[in-house]
Amino acid sequence: VNKFCRNTITNWRKLKLPFDSETFVLAVSGGADSVSLLAVFFELKQLGKLKLEFIVAHFDHNLRGKESDADADLVKFLAEKYSFQLVIEKANLSKSGNLEQIARNARYDFLARTALEHNAFGILTAHNQNDQAETFLMNLIRGSGLDGLSAMPEIRDVSSESKTKLIRPFLSWAKRIDTENYCNECEIGFREDSMNSDENFLRVKIRKKLLPFLRELNPKIIETISQTVKHLRFESQNSSEDALEIGDELSSSNLATLGESKRYRAIRKWLMHHRGNLRSIGMKHVESIDRLSRSRKSGREVELPGFERVIKKEGMLLFRKQRLKKP
C-alpha cells in the first residue's frame, strides 16, 4: 500500500473515526489537495480498509467564468470514474464586502446542508500542514491571542447548531507537496486555482512570499509551525476548561471578577457561542468589548466585522446581528 494511503488510515484510526456503516461528504474543489482526498478515500474503499459511503460535494463559486466550469467538469469526471455520488451547487455570491469570507461562508453552508440531507457522519476537507501554517501566520499578522494561534482543529462540529463533524484528515501530517505527489502517482490531473496566484489575498502573500522566506531560515518551517500550533491547541483546551460558563448574555459584574486573561477568554467564548467561530475577530475587538464591559457610560457599543454589534444594557453585554436585505 502507498505511503500516503497508509498515513491516511493510520491517522483515521488515531482520530477514532468509524470504519464502516457511515456516510462522509468529501469537499472537492478540484485542486491537488482535494483531488488527493477523493483519490485516497477511493483507494481505501477499494482495498476494503474502509466500508463507508462517500458523497462528493463541489461548490462552484461561479467567480471565474470558464475556469469555474472546468473545475466542476474535472470533479464530475472524477466522481463518475470512482462511482461516487456527486452534488454540485452553483453560487450566486454578492461581490461586495469581504469576498473571501462570503465565499467561505456560502461553501460551508452548502457542505453542512449536503451532510444533513444525506445523514452524513461528517464532512472531510483536505486542509494540510501548509494550510495550518498559513492560518497561524494570518492570525499572527492580523493580531491574535492563544485561540487564533491555535489555528484549525482536526475535528470540530460544523456549526454550533449541528452535530455533524468537520474533519481534516490530512491536517496533522500531510504537506501540500505530498498531496501533489499522490495525485501524480495515481496519474490523475488536478486544477491550479487561479486565486492561488492573486496577490490581493493575504493568504496568498503568506504562501508565495512569507513562507519561502521563512523556509530559508528553517527548511522545516511548515512542520515546525504545525507542531507549535498543536501544542498551543492543547494549552488552549486546558485553559478553556476552567473558563466562565457562557449564556446568551454576558454579565459585566461576572467579568469584573476575572483577571485580564480570563476576561478575554470569556469574551472570546461568548463570541464563539453567538457566531460559531472567531473568524475576523482580532485582539482589538476583544479589548474593545472588555472596555465596553467596564465602561460606566451608557449607550456605547462595539462594532464587529460582518455587521455585528455588541451593546451594553443594564450591566449585560448583548450580541446583535444586523440582517441585511437580500439584493
Q: Is 214 in the site for a copy of itself (CB under 8 A)?
A: yes
Question: Shortest approach of a copy of itself to residue 269 CB, angstroms?
Answer: 14
Closest CB to a copy of itself among 115 and 195? 195
254 to each of 2, 47, 60, 259, 266, how far by Cα in Å?
55, 56, 46, 11, 10
Closest CB to a copy of itself among 58 and 233? 233
Restricting to residues 220-239, name those near a copy of itself by CB under 8 A: 221, 224-225, 227-228, 231-232, 234-239
Do 191 and 31 contact (CB within 8 A), yes or no? yes
Closest CB to a copy of itself among 238 and 253? 238
117 to each of 22, 55, 110, 167, how far by Cα in Å?
14, 11, 11, 18
Restricting to residues 188-207, name those near a copy of itself by CB under 8 A: 202, 205-206
In the structure grid, which three cell numbers stand for residue 305, read together?
466585522
Closest CB to a copy of itself among 113 and 142? 142
Assign 3-class secondary structure to 233-296.
Answer: HHHHHHHHHCCCCCCCCEEHHHHHCCCHHHHHHHHHHHHHHHHCCCCCCCHHHHHHHHHHHHCC
Question: Shortest approach of a copy of itself to residue 242 CB, angstroms?
Answer: 9
- Selection from 58, 41, 67, 36 nearest residue 187 by Cα: 36
In the structure grid, which three cell numbers stand for residue 289, read together?
468589548
**Binding-residue total with a copy of itself (CB under 8 A):** 36
Closest CB to a copy of itself among 10 and 261? 261
Question: Shortest approach of a copy of itself to residue 214 CB, angstroms?
Answer: 7
Question: Which residue has 501530517 as its cell numbers?
Answer: 173
> Positive or negative CA dihedral for 193, 41, 46, 87?
negative
Q: Is 145 in the site for a copy of itself (CB under 8 A)?
A: yes
Closest CB to a copy of itself among 104 and 142? 142
Pairing mode of beta strands 162-167, 85-90: unpaired
- Selection from 235, 35, 226, 237 nearest residue 135 by Cα: 226
Q: Is 208 in the site for a copy of itself (CB under 8 A)?
A: no
Q: Is 210 in the site for a copy of itself (CB under 8 A)?
A: yes
Sole window of 31-39, 178-186, 219-227, 303-311 interacting with a copy of itself (rule: CB under 8 A): 219-227
**Run of H or E including 115:** helix 99-117
Sole window of 15-23, 108-116, 118-126, 217-225 interacting with a copy of itself (rule: CB under 8 A): 217-225
Q: How many CB atoms lie within 10 A of CB 231?
A: 10
Q: Is 12 in the site for a copy of itself (CB under 8 A)?
A: no
Question: Shortest approach of a copy of itself to residue 261 CB, angstroms?
Answer: 3
* Residue 154 DSSP one-character state: S
Closest CB to a copy of itself among 242 and 314? 242
Restricting to residues 256-315, name those near a copy of itself by CB under 8 A: 259-262, 264, 283
Find the length of the chain: 327
Which chain residues interact with a copy of itself by CB under 8 A?
A: 140-146, 149, 202, 205-206, 209-210, 213-214, 217-218, 221, 224-225, 227-228, 231-232, 234-239, 259-262, 264, 283
